[in-house]
Chains A and B, each alone.
Chain A
Amino acid sequence: DTEVTQTPKHLVMGMTNKKSLKCEQHMGHRAMYWYKQKAKKPPELMFVYSYEKLSINESVPSRFSPECPNSSLLNLHLHALQPEDSALYLCASSLPQGLNEKLFFGSGTQLSVL
């Protein structure tokens, strides 16, 4: 299994809603990532988990809350988002030796905040 599975594929939410994005991989990777990608832009790193511990937070607002409950799962909890947070949210995983390793990306969750 060489896939990273993200759910849901699409999400529309209001600014007062609470929702969660989910990511799952069964490749034994111990590093997992959240990226945000605006239309026609490159992905921007948000968070990195290594061995289920948060190792990088790229100054992301607290309305985004990551969680890594086990080595196969990564969640991104969303609360009180703004319309400018609308984007494609990509999850990725890799071997834990750092970002020189190949990243395996999921297909993303297309988020629209109304």
Chain B
Amino acid sequence: AQSVTQLDSHVSVSEGTPVLLRCNYSSSYSPSLFWYVQHPNKGLQLLLKYTSAATLVKGINGFEAEFKKSETSFHLTKPSAHMSDAAEYFCVVSDPGANNLFFGTGTRLTVIP
């Protein structure tokens, strides 16, 4: 069975400091993993996607994530937070041929000026 656990419901960082949003997954197959961002009252936007190519995935807006099979993790990072990064972030897992995506419960990122 597939599932996703986002370890922090809320992360707060100062502007210009690194961001780490943690995600652990469970999947019976080689999973596809995604990070989506949702700004208030907006739809979701794909940040990046892992599909068994390079384990370090670079996304938009300076975000990247590293797939670690041994740790079943797919943590999202950014070297320097910007005020515009304040949003809700969802880690998502799918498996080949799946008929659904499995969303984590989300992590709300606050960026302090």
Give Cα A45–Cα B104 distance, bound, in whole angstroms: 13
Indicate if the CB atoms of A105 and B45 lie closer than 8 Å. Answer: yes
> Does any Cβ of A come within 8 Å of B77's Cβ?
no
Contact among B41, B44, B99, B106 with A99 in the assembled complex (CB-CB below 8 Å): B99
Indicate if the CB atoms of B90 and A42 lie closer than 8 Å. Answer: yes
- Which residues of chain A from 5 to 21 have a CB within 8 Å of any chain B CB? 6
Give Cα A100–Cα B105 distance, bound, in whole angstroms: 19
Indicate if the CB atoms of A100 and B41 lie closer than 8 Å. Answer: no
Indicate if the CB atoms of A4 and B103 lie closer than 8 Å. Answer: no
In the assembled complex, how far is the CB of residue A92 from the closest CB belonging to chain B, in whole angstroms? 8
Give Cα A61–Cα B113 distance, bound, in whole angstroms: 45
Contact among A40, A43, A56, A58 with B44 in the assembled complex (CB-CB below 8 Å): A43
By a CB distance below 8 angstroms, the chain A residues around B106 are: 40-42
Indicate if the CB atoms of A42 and B103 lie closer than 8 Å. Answer: yes
Total residues of chain A contacting the partner, CB 8 A: 25
In the assembled complex, how far is the CB of residue A4 from the closest CB belonging to chain B, in whole angstroms? 7
Indicate if the CB atoms of A103 and B44 lie closer than 8 Å. Answer: yes
Indicate if the CB atoms of A41 and B105 lie closer than 8 Å. Answer: yes
By a CB distance below 8 angstroms, the chain B residues around A98 are: 94, 96-99
Give Cα A108–Cα B40 distance, bound, in whole angstroms: 11
> Does any Cβ of B come within 8 Å of A90's Cβ?
yes
Indicate with 1 or 0, residue by residue over A84-100, a CB within 8 angstroms of chain B CB atoms: 00001010100000111
Which residue of the partner chain A has the closest CB to B32? A100
Indicate with 1 or 0, residue by residue over A25-48, a CB within 8 angstroms of chain B CB atoms: 000000000000000111101001
Give chain A's interface residues, CB within 8 Å of chain B. 4, 6, 40-43, 45, 48, 55-56, 58, 88, 90, 92, 98-100, 102-108, 110
